[in-house]
Amino acid sequence: MFKRIFGILAVAVLVLITVLLVNTMLYVPKEQPVVAASDTGSFDVDAIANNLSQSIRFKTVSHQSPADFESSEFEGFIRWLKATYPLVHEKMELKFAGGLTPLYKWEGEDSSRKPVIMTGHYDVVPAPEETLGDWTEPPFSGNISDGFVWGRGTLDDKIAVVGLMEAAEHLLENGFSPKRTLYFAFGHDEEVGGWQGAGRVAQALKKQGVEMEWSLDEGSMVLDGILPGIKKPIASINVAEKGYVTLDIKAKAKGGHSSLPPSETAVGRLSKAIRKLEDNPVPGGLTDVSAEFFDAVAPNFPFVQRMLFANQWLFGPLLEGELSKSAATNAMLRTTTAPTMLSASVKENVLPTEATATVNFRIHPRDTVEAVISHVENVIGDDQVEVSIRGDKNEASPVSDHQVSGYQLLSNTFREVFGELIVVPGLTIAATDTKHYSRISENSYRINPIVFGPEDIPRIHGINERVSLENIELVVKFYTRLIRNLDQSPG
């Protein structure tokens, strides 16, 4: 009897191993069309770097408080654009939204084709005074050294503004005229939501009945070495972006003198609530746009990781658990929970009657603001804790189609300019101005044509933001090739 049982178990194990191996062997990258490298022309990279350097010197900082807004820096940047790119301003129609967000219209020859809008933003986040001594080069110097341009905006996002303007000026110098109408829009307040800039651009175009075939904005880069085990760079053309909501979690209790603390204080009750939220994140998983990203990337992993992804029917919980341990991949799987601010007593020896934590949630496209609030209330489960929305909120974006010609055009252009790549649809985990442009675009895509490695991650909104001269050249080549390719695209 036992011999028979062991025989059955042995056969079952053999069958299981066979299934796992066969699934893994069949789990290979999808064939992608071979695209020949293109001749995008020659560029004076030093001159372009010098122009980017000049743009960095304008302190176009978006402060949290509108009272700190320095309009003269923004106005100076607009004047600089006009002086630096004369052909663009001669050949294109220029309007403004919110006073400081320029909208360029490059009229195409064929009015039957839907236009495309390419966007960026020239406002930047502050460089805190206490960090200035940690910068290799001052954050608004635009200094060029060691093969890099340094300063705020070199990655986020004056590089896109300058790159698009350089490409357009180059094409106009060579007599190019587009068949399809193109729009460029450069936001002045993206870092604080984009409501006065991109929001008003989208509103004005919608009122005129203008609908784009697709839009292109920041959101990802060409990721090199970001995912361990992947040897090829990954061009993540993001087809959606997370929404956001910030909640105030307010706990109440009796106040009084700190010498006579009760068994439970407002601060203690609040601490328990926050602990529960961090221990019980919003449910996630390898579904929807998250699944599409990993399904495209995972066949390129080494054998063991590939086996896990190829056999999610067995390893799904293990896989999701491992992905959740990394901040980067966890953010791809779910709505994230981030406590960011705390307030309670006004004095060290006074027990507060209220203690408040501010918690920011970046909402996955499968979730909604309402669902997040419901999750928070259910997890905390305390009628002495109130939950309320703080400031603006925004639902996650629609998920754009990555099977259409616009996405394929972007994919092919990346291969032309960057060479052998893994091109995948992805998810932008932060917010961009595309939340406004998606209202007037059939599809919206988010990526800057920059090679981006692990060492660059802390530079975004951090210390020592910089971009290499090689990347500057790639940006201009990419936009130049993309605009030319639009003339050959269907639609």
* Whether pLDDT at 339 is above 80: yes
- Tokens representing 25 are 């062997």
Q: In one letter, which amino acid is 456?
A: D
Cα gap 345→198, rounded to integer Å? 40
Task: Identify which has the larger pLDDT, 2 or 25.
Answer: 25
13-37 average pLDDT score: 83
Q: What angle do CA 453, 455, 459 make, to 5 degrees?
A: 105
For the annotated catalytic residues, the residue numbers are 123, 190
Strands 350-351 and 256-257: antiparallel
What is the three-state SS of 412-445?
A: HHHHHHHCCCEEEEEEECCCCCHHHHCCCEEEEE
H or E segment and range at residue 362: strand 354-363
3-state helix, strand, coil in the chain (%, to 5): 40, 20, 35
* Whether pLDDT at 41 is above 90: no
Q: What is the pLDDT of residues 65-105, one digit of tens each?
A: 888 899 999 999 999 999 999 999 999 999 998 789 999 99
Cα gap 472→476, rounded to integer Å? 7
Q: What is the pLDDT of residues 22-33, one digit of tens each?
A: 999 999 988 776
Where do the H-state alpha helices sit in 174-265? 198-207
CB-CB contact of 170 with 43 (8 Å): yes
Residue bearing tokens 């252009």 = 413
Q: What is the pLDDT of residues 205-221, one digit of tens each?
A: 999 999 999 999 999 99
The rounded mean pLDDT for the chain is 94
Q: What is the pLDDT of residues 361-377, one digit of tens each?
A: 999 999 999 999 999 99
Q: What is the pLDDT of residues 305-321, one digit of tens each?
A: 999 999 999 999 999 99
* Whether pLDDT at 474 is above 70: yes
Cα gap 161→164, rounded to integer Å? 5
* Whether pLDDT at 38 is above 70: no
Q: Name the band, by pLDDT with cuts 50, 70 and 90, for residue 4.
A: confident
